Amino acid sequence: MTTTPVAGRTTATVAARATDLSKIYGQGETQVVALDRVSIDFHQAEFTAIMGPSGSGKSTLMHCVAGLDSFSSGSVRIGDTELGSLKDKQLTRLRRDKIGFIFQAFNLLPTLTALENITLPMDIAGRKPDQQWLDSVIEMIGLSGRLGHRPSELSGGQQQRVAVARALASRPEIIFGDEPTGNLDSRSGAEVLGFLRNSVRELGQTVVMVTHDPVAAAYADRVVFLADGRLVDELYGPTADTVLDRMKQFDSKGRTS
């Protein structure tokens, strides 16, 4: 695996990398450049938030890097695997084995208990969970005593924590969330974000999250900003205030140009 020096740490392993990634929808007059030569690394055990105005390409970037969508040019790798070199079946297997997803809607199965939902993807794949890892994930979600409950018996925040635990359970190389707290009130959102941050700090998970909310972005180690399909800025150690300041800068640039 490629290692590169990073400030404050001796080495950092690249969990995912996009190089000159472009995604163009449509043709001619109706052509939309959703991603315009984006190059970005996501380091292992780092929590990255992706921000930018509506339509700036955040979801497209996430979907292309996660192997959920094809791209027009450039390259993407997850760990040491180049996505462009994979056949459909191999790509499906890579998504299943190496990537975790958290969606805005929790997507839990209503007839299964919290615990059954957490282990479902591995049960489907016929894989045995690493019990020690699973125990630490379950301990961290703090739902002991409620693991036998069905989703309808849990609050929104608790349900989303189950969904995060499900993404973590197979110990994926990287977890992607597209506005994972978009449907939650601020308190439930804070629970889920705290849990995501702990999974990075305590378990060394790699997390990439799209968000519109500066408060949510402040939970991340790094915030990257997209505008018109391009990577325009990056901020380490964000606070809600510094994120908001950057967002204002882009807004005023947008108005004067």
Ligand X SMILES: Nc1ncnc2c1ncn2[C@@H]1O[C@H](COP(=O)(O)OP(=O)(O)OP(=O)(O)O)[C@@H](O)[C@H]1O
Residues that bind ligand X (CB under 6 A): 25-26, 32, 34, 52, 54-60
32 binds, among Mg ion, ligand X, none (CB under 5 to 8 A by kind): ligand X
Minimum distance between the CB of residue 225 and ligand X, rounded to whole angstroms? 11
Q: What angle do CA 174, 180, 186 make, to 5 degrees?
A: 135
In sequence order, the 6+-apart residues with CB closer than 8 A to the CB of 256 are none
Which CA distances in Å does 241 have to 210, 235, 244, 247, 251?
Answer: 18, 12, 5, 10, 15
The entry of Mg ion, ligand X, none that residue 161 binds, CB within 5 to 8 Å by partner kind: none
Task: Give 53 or 79: the residue with its C-beta nearer to ligand X.
Answer: 53
Give the 3-state secondary structure of residue 80. coil
Which residue's CB is nearer to ligand X, number 121 or number 180?
180
Residue of 119, 90, 102, 109 whose CA lies nearest to 174: 102
Residue 179 half-sphere exposure, CB side, CA atoms within 13 Å? 13
183 binds Mg ion (CB under 5 A): no
Task: Lay out the site mask for Mg ion across 41-80 (x = CB under 5 A, - = otherwise).
Answer: ------------------x---------------------
Nearest distance from C-beta of residue 50 to Mg ion, angstroms: 9
Residues making contact with Mg ion (CB under 5 A): 59
